[in-house]
Amino acid sequence: MKLIINNCLKNNQWLNLTNFIQVLFKQNCILCTSATKSKLGLCSDCLNELPYSPTSSCPQCGLSSNGLMCGSCLNSPPDFDSTHAVLIYAFPIDAMMQRYKYSSMLHLSQMFGQLLAQRINLDNVDLIIPMPMHPARLKERGFNQALEIAKILTKNNKEKLDYRRSIRQKLTPPQASLQFKERVKNIKGAFQVNRDLTGKRVAIVDDVMTTGASLNELAKTLKKAGASHVECWVVARTLPLK
Ligand SMILES: [Zn+2]
Ligand SMILES: [Zn+2]
């Protein structure tokens, strides 16, 4: 599979091409184009080869550990209570995510949403809040990638989705271009929650968790608004650089 995808990536046309094929035939794997009946759009081989997050990760931050709380969370606990990540942000998810966000390949939200649905428990929370996007960014991109994934998760529980009352009031430079300390400083005060969340259990949905600075700042804001418990539900988690 890797050989096929690498060849396709080399000419930078694989997803455009496979998207076209998928639209035409509806039953082809997004990655290798072989026939599949899976609703995820991936054949069983490609599905099995995805870089899944280890199940033994730290329950609070989602980074690799023996399944117990990691040292970092013990020393300096984040504002969110748990993290559920389906995948590691590595090949081919990184390439797919880039195309999802920057080439408007919205159909990939189906696959990301369905994969995430397998790792989370909707009954565990009262509300699901997608990571808000600043209006200027939304205008630029045309859609909020976290909201599209959250819509898939809440397809049969629409009353749990709340994407209007948590807003991003500060336009910040893309977090990817910043170091951890800068990210924390940069994102401070970025969110506003316009509802009382007293006693509510909330899940924040996002596409990728890198340092967790944005998720942490939003979790802090949600807790200030009264939330009793905040979970991070993310499609992919980056691993720290060694
Ligand atoms: Zn495949
Ligand atoms: Zn941890």
Residue/partner pairs of 137-142 with CB below 8 Å, 24 or more apart: 137/168, 137/171, 141/101, 141/102, 141/104, 142/104
Greatest mean pLDDT range, 100-104, 138-142, 217-221? 217-221
Q: Which residue has the higher pLDDT, 13 or 188?
A: 188
Q: Which of 15-19, 78-82, 145-149 has the lowest mean pLDDT?
A: 15-19
Q: Which residues have C-beta within 8 Å of that of residue 3, sequence separation ≥ 6?
A: none
CA-nearest of 131, 192, 187, 128 to 160 is 128
**Burial call 67-84: b when 16+ CB within 10 Å, e when fewer:** eeebeebeeeebbbbbbb
Q: What is residue 180's predicted lDDT score, i.e. its pLDDT?
A: 79
Ligand closest to the CA atom of residue 212: 2
pTM of the predicted model as reported, rounded to 2 decimal places: 0.87
Q: What is residue 241's predicted lDDT score, i.e. its pLDDT?
A: 63
Look at residue 1 and tell me whether its pLDDT is greater than 70.
no
Distance 33 CA to ligand 1 centre (A): 6
CA 95, 82, 58, 242 torsion: positive or negative? positive
Is it true that the peptide bond before 51 is cis, omega within 30 degrees of 0? Answer: no
Distance 91 CA to ligand 1 centre (A): 14
Q: How far apart are CA 83 and CA 204, in angstroms?
A: 10
Ligand closest to the CA atom of residue 85: 2
Q: What is residue 5's predicted lDDT score, i.e. its pLDDT?
A: 53
Q: How far apart are CA 215 and CA 98, in angstroms?
A: 19
The pLDDT tens digits for 153-180 are: 999 999 999 999 999 999 987 767 777 7
Radius of gyration of the chain (CA): 18
Ligand closest to the CA atom of residue 92: 1
Distance 42 CA to ligand 1 centre (A): 5
Q: What is residue 120's predicted lDDT score, i.e. its pLDDT?
A: 95
Distance 205 CA to ligand 2 centre (A): 18
Distance 15 CA to ligand 1 centre (A): 12
Look at residue 118 and tell me whether its pLDDT is greater than 60.
yes
Q: Which residue has the higher pLDDT, 37 or 85?
A: 85
The model's confidence at residue 181, banded by pLDDT at 50, 70 and 90, is confident
What are the beta bridge partners of residue 82?
231
Instruction: Please report, as a single letter, which amino acid is at residue 135.
Output: P
The model's confidence at residue 242, banded by pLDDT at 50, 70 and 90, is low
Distance 36 CA to ligand 1 centre (A): 8
Ligand closest to the CA atom of residue 32: 1
Contact by Cβ (8 Å): 32, 45: yes
Question: Can you read off the two tokens belonging to residue 103?
Answer: 């080439």
Ligand closest to the CA atom of residue 64: 2
Tell me what the pLDDT averaged over the chain comes to.
Answer: 88
- The strand order across the sheet containing 82-88 reads 82-88, 229-237, 201-209, 127-130
The pLDDT tens digits for 46-59 are: 999 999 998 888 99
For a pLDDT cut of 70, what percent of the chain falls above it? 87
Q: What is residue 45's predicted lDDT score, i.e. its pLDDT?
A: 95
Q: What is residue 2's predicted lDDT score, i.e. its pLDDT?
A: 56
Ligand closest to the CA atom of residue 62: 2
Burial label for 10, CB within 10 Å (0-12, 13-18, 19+), is exposed
The pLDDT tens digits for 66-113 are: 889 999 999 999 999 999 999 999 999 999 999 998 887 888 999 999
Q: What is residue 183's predicted lDDT score, i.e. its pLDDT?
A: 85
Distance 202 CA to ligand 2 centre (A): 19
Q: What is residue 230's predicted lDDT score, i.e. its pLDDT?
A: 98
